[in-house]
Structures are given as structure tokens and as C-alpha cells.
Amino acid sequence: MTSVPTRGKDDRPTMVDPGFRHALAPLPLGARTLRNRIVSTAHQTGLVHDHLPTDDLVAYHRERARGGIGAIFLEASAVHPSGLLTPHTIGAYLPEAVPALARVADAVHEEGAALLVQLFHGGREQIAIAPKAPAVAPSAVPTTRFHVEPRALTRREIAGLVAGYGLAARHVTEAGLDGIEVSAAHAYLPAQFLASRSNVRTDEYNGDLRARLRFLVEALSAVHDNTDRPVGVRLALDEISPDGLTKDTCLDVAATLCELVSLDFVSFALGDSATYRGSAYIAPAPPVARNVVLDLLAGVRDAVPAGVAVLATTRVLELADADRAIADGLTDLVGMTRAHIADPHLVRKAVAGERAIPCIGCNQACIGHYHAGVPIGCVMNVRTGREAHLPQPRPSRAPRRTLVVGGGPAGVAAAHAAATAGHDVALVEREPELGGQLRLAGRAPGHRETWLRWQEWATAELKRLGVDVRLGVTAGPGDGVDEFDHVVVATGAHPHRPPLPAGFAVVDAWTALADPGAVPGPVLVADWGGEPTGLDVAEVLAAAGTAVTLAYSAPAPGEQIHQYQRNGYLARLDAAGVDLLPHLELAECSGDLVLRNVFSGRTRPIDDGIRTVVVAHGREPETALWAELEPDPRVELVGDAAGPRGLEEATLEGTMAISRVIADRPDRVRVPDTAAPGQEQNRTDVVAAGRPPTSAVSSTGDGLQKL
């Protein structure tokens, strides 16, 4: 069994005996040997300014290297100004990129990991804000997802782009990076030459497969001419897209490319950026199966010559699954990117036998932030993207008694943060299970895995930390609350129910989700188009055999849901036979319940066959307890109780509430009796988060005696 380095008490590498001997075995790659086979593949972070890495990006990747990963692929870095996918894309063609990239490389190397970079040109795929630069592509064929209308590249322009690959390769080599991956997947520029839907040229860059590979071969040759580091390519394994590259075609591409140019590794991923269906597989969310890429690797070894390492990435979340794929000879390296966004110390924790923070597949703060143009985050780990500013929590030397009311994500986050800081924590939840709204959402396919992974983690972590969890208990103002130093109110929300005229059986979406078999059909789901509830209930009712019509009042169904999730919902609803009625809201007209177009105001009657109207019209905060406790300076209001939003806000606010209770105390406080007389502690163990000071209230009572 292979030994791998982890961190000892003095922060120096210590050799231990791991349980995942295939995944954690070293792998030679060029002149460098990777310490293990687990990698973080290229993903955009938003931690880039003026097309250069920032201090935040350095800290982000340093943390993942510190956590024991074998290699990190720096995010897609443009080889030419025309290849900048967003305003936050690294410009590897810039001379200023050399020292900036070197800082990232130094940080990653100091922690024992390798750093590679993905060289990139988006071609006609362009996510840009106005004023937009003109887009270029093999041919002047508009793209259907981003609605970009490109100009066909001339031969002179192609030569300029090829030179850009060489210049970028020289820059990253000078910066001290360990290898280069050329992006030719996801229907970006090199892949646009490969596909007949985007390449209708009549010159030497179109024709048979070798002709369509010409641009990529020229780009890879230019990279080779300007680096002595390992060179690889990212390819699609299957674009899973209408008129896109199928798996058979992708394997032919890999085999032919390996004949035409020298490669050290080939990285395979799924999906494409050009279509709605294909894009959902770039970072697929549940219910797309975990390990989806591993299940498609059959035939890859036949296409890729011996001596060329294979890397597979797309929704691999557990180290055991990666280890098994490597042991079975399916791949040499496994990308566990979103798993490391959730927990950068996944490898270290696995070696130590500790539980890692799980990726729950929600896409809200990782790729969701990218598409929103803001820095990366994680619903499960508030430190992600904040590594430079939010240090790891340390146990407090002045423990306090903390009460958390509400066992949803906000309450669990608060309890977890308080217990991690060494406080004495009690959590009360009126329902028989933790989870709040997430538990209800877990009844739907789109959230089932998210709920189960969160529930398993939350239950185990609260038990490990010794949190006193009391289920089926309702806390009131007089129920022992005064016995606590700090109270977090995380009581969540309830459905908003608009006043409606009689005439139909009307139920709210939460009731329908809880017991879909009790809802008579056919059903009209009236969805305001915000959060996922309307789509969830339509899918659940259809799966129960009910005829469902979904009327949504937003410009698009699930308007606030991340696009990859929304794409999946719409595919599943179509397959289930759910009829969609766009831009219609419930309204009253002459005492009757009707549907009204939100743009024109025109009304139409509800179909006579409808027996039940299910209303998904948003939520209202549950503030009864807060109204009683609000004057008390010990009390914090977090999550949906403060205003219904999403999982990210819930976990962030729950966690930061614990940071504030420390920051709100005087800078120097007495230490418990275990310290020497007069000894004091400078309170720097947690970080403040924007709340004015409040007074402290202490107590030595038992607390919650009435509960």
C-alpha cells in the first residue's frame, strides 16, 4: 500500500497509510510525479480581475493544494483577446500574466501539489456583457444557447490564433506551471472545427476528420514548440447534444488526434456549451447520476494509446468511486472538482478517516455564481472563495451557551459553527426530522440526492460535535430561552397563500408535495416562476399519474433557478407529458378564478376539466418567535425567517451569526477558570461580518428546562 503525505502538528508532511491505494498512488507526468491521482479540473472562479489572477485566487488554490490533492488545473485562460469568454477570464496571452501565474504556482507548489493550466478560446461561445466584442468561429453559424452571431475566421486570423497558443504556452512555462491542457471540449473553438453544425468551411480546415482536426493539431504543435512541460487536451466523451458529437465520434477524435500529435494526457468530460441540453451536462445536477462519466468510459482505453494518461471528470463526488475506477483500469486520473469546491481537504480527510463536507449537487454558488458574474462560493462551505478573508474556525477559549431554534439549513449551519467554535449548543426543531424546506423538497427528483447527502452530513456532524438536538419541540419566548448567552432564530418560512375566489379545490404546493396521492386530478399548478417549488410539485404529481398543466407567470419557468437545473426540469417535465402555459397568473374576474397574461392583461378561463389548483406563489417568513424576542440583543435572525431566499443565504447567515456573537463582545474578555488569574484572550478566533455591537448576556443556568 502506498504512503502519501499529509499534515502533522507542525504543518510538515507526515507519511501515513491511506485506504484508497489506487487513487492515492503517485503518477509520473512529465518531469514531475503527481503525489496522487485526484485532480481539480479547470473551472472558472470569478477570482480574476483585469484578466489576471487575484490574491483571492491564490488563496483559493493554495487551500486545495494544502488539502492533499494531486494536481490543480488553473481555470480556462484565453490565448487571444477574442477568446475571452467573460470579463473574468484569465488572459494567458498578456505579458503581465507571467508574474501573476507564478504567484499561483508558488502557492500550490509550496503545499505539494502540481499546477497545470487550461489554454482556451471560446470561439462563438461568448458570455459577455455590453459592449460585446465581435465573436469569431470556423463559420458564421449562430449559436443557439448564447445567441452569438460570429464571423468566420480567415486563414490569417487562424494563424494568429495558433500563434496565440504558442505565446500563452511560453508565458505559463515561464511562470513555472507544471503542464498545459488545451481545451477542445464543450463546443468551444477547437471543437467547433470538429462539428458539422458549426463548421461549413470549404477550405483545408473542413472535410474528413483529419482536416477538421487541423486547427487543433496546429494549436497543440504551437504549444509543444513553446514548452518543455507535459501537454494534454480536454475532449468531449459525449456532447449529449442535438447534432453534437456522439461518443463514437469523440473516441475517433481521440484516437486520430493521438496519431497526429504527441500528447501526455487526454482529459474527458461531458456536455457542450452550444445547446441547452448539452450545457446541462457540463456540471450536471441531480437527478443525473453520480459518476456519470465513469459509466461511459468503456472503449476509451482502446482509443488512447498506452503511455498517454487518461483523465475523467464529471460529477465524481466520492474518493471510493474514483479509487474503484482507477483500480479497474478505466482511467489514470479522476477530476473531483465540485467535491473539492465543497471541501478542499477531501483527500487529507479521507486519509485521516474524517468526514468531508459533501457536494450536494445544487450548483447554486459554484457554477451558479460564475454565470451570475460573481466570485465562486459553496452552499455547504462558506469559506469557499473567501479563503483569503475567512480563516478556518478555531475553538473558543470562552465557550458560551447557544440556542438555535429551527433545524433547517440555516439553523444547522449556526449550530455547526457554534459547536465547532467550542460553544455549548442546543438545537430545537418542531418537526420530527431536521431539514426544514429541504426535507420537503427532497420528495422531488431534482432535490432527492441533495436532501439525502445534506441530511447524512448534518446528522453525523451535529452528533460528532455534541450538539443537543431536540426534535418535535417548539420553542417559545418563555421556554428557557433566558438561560442562553446567544439565541439564533432560524424558524424558516411558510407558503404564501393569496386570497382566491371559490370555485376550485385549492391547495398549496407544500401540501401537494407532502401527499401527492391526495390531490385529485387533473391539476393546474399555478407557479409564480421563482424558486423550484412549482416545478417540483408538477413533476411529483405527474409521476403519481396525475394529469398536470403548469401555468407560470414569469418570462421563463423557474426564472431564478440556475440554468442547468432549469434545463433538466424542462426536459423531465416534457418527458412526463406536463403541459406548459407561459406568462399566466391566477386572477379574479367577476368573482371567477381565471388565468391572466402578465404582459397583456388578457384573461382566459381555467379549463373545465381541472379539479384542483395547486398554488406555488412563494413564501412568507415565519417570524412569530422573532417578534417576541427581537428586542433582546442576544438574538440573531437568519435564513428564510429573515426573508425567504435560497440555501446559500441560509447557510452563510447561519454560520456568520456565530462569528458575529464573538465579534460583538469586547475585544478582550475573561477566560474561563481553567486559565491563570488575570489571563485574557484576544478574540480573533472568528471573523466579524457586518453587525453593530450589542451587549453580552451571560448565564450559568441549565437552560431549556421547559422544553
Average pLDDT, integer, range 476-486: 83
Structure confidence at residue 51 (pLDDT): 97
Structure confidence at residue 662 (pLDDT): 53
pLDDT band at 479 (very low <50, low <70, confident <90, very high): confident
Return the active site residues.
188
171 three-state secondary structure: helix
CB within 8 Å of 366: residues ≥ 6 apart? 43, 283, 338, 341, 376, 377, 378, 384
pLDDT band at 673 (very low <50, low <70, confident <90, very high): very low
Dihedral angle sign, alpha carbons of residues 675, 680, 684, 690: positive
677: its cell numbers: 488569574
Task: Output 216 or 8, whichever has higher pLDDT.
Answer: 216
Question: For residue 93, which of 72, 120, 114, 55 has the smallest C-alpha distance?
Answer: 120
CB within 8 Å of 473: residues ≥ 6 apart? 428, 429, 430, 707
Angstrom distance (rounded) from CA 35 to CA 24: 7
Structure confidence at residue 4 (pLDDT): 38
Q: For 559-588, what is each residue's pLDDT tens digit?
A: 889 999 999 999 999 999 999 999 999 998
226 three-state secondary structure: coil
129 three-state secondary structure: coil
CB within 8 Å of 175: residues ≥ 6 apart? 97, 98, 99, 100, 101, 102, 105
Angstrom distance (rounded) from CA 649 to CA 77: 30
Entry pTM: 0.89
Omega of the bond leading into 633 within 30 degrees of 0 (cis):
no
Asked whether the predicted pLDDT for residue 3 surpasses 70, the reply is no
CB within 8 Å of 673: residues ≥ 6 apart? none
HEC readout, 519-571: CCCCEEEEECCCCCHHHHHHHHHHHCCCCEEEEECCCCCCCCCCHHHHHHHHH
Q: For 585-598, what is each residue's pLDDT tens digit?
A: 999 888 889 999 99
Instruction: Return residue ranges of the chain for CATH 3.40.50.720.
Output: 401-494+622-682
Q: What is the CATH number of domain 4-372?
A: 3.20.20.70
Structure confidence at residue 501 (pLDDT): 80
Q: For 47-93, what is each residue's pLDDT tens digit?
A: 999 999 999 999 999 999 999 999 999 999 999 999 998 889 999 99
Phi, psi of 269 (to 5 degrees): -140, 180
Asked whether the predicted pLDDT for residue 168 surpasses 90, the reply is yes
Average pLDDT, integer, range 370-393: 92
231: its cell numbers: 501537454
pLDDT band at 500 (very low <50, low <70, confident <90, very high): confident
pLDDT band at 438 (very low <50, low <70, confident <90, very high): very high
Q: For 299-341, what is each residue's pLDDT tens digit?
A: 999 999 999 999 999 999 999 999 999 999 999 999 999 999 9
Decide which of 3.40.1280.10, 3.30.830.10, 3.40.50.720, 2.20.25.90 is the CATH code for 401-494+622-682.
3.40.50.720
Angstrom distance (rounded) from CA 633 to CA 696: 8
342: its cell numbers: 465543497
Instruction: Return residue ranges of the chain for CATH 3.50.50.60.
Output: 497-617
Angstrom distance (rounded) from CA 707 to CA 484: 13
Structure confidence at residue 693 (pLDDT): 28
Instruction: Let me know if domain 497-617 sits in CATH 3.30.360.10.
Output: no
Average model confidence (pLDDT) for the chain? Answer: 89
Average pLDDT, integer, range 107-132: 93
Angstrom distance (rounded) from CA 60 to CA 50: 18
Q: For 246-258, what is each residue's pLDDT tens digit?
A: 999 999 999 999 9
CB within 8 Å of 130: residues ≥ 6 apart? none
Average pLDDT, integer, range 353-380: 95
Asked whether the predicted pLDDT for residue 15 surpasses 80, the reply is no
Question: Quick one: DSSP state of residue 87?
Answer: T
Q: For 422-432, what is each residue's pLDDT tens digit?
A: 999 999 999 99
Instruction: Return residue ranges of the chain for CATH 3.20.20.70.
Output: 4-372
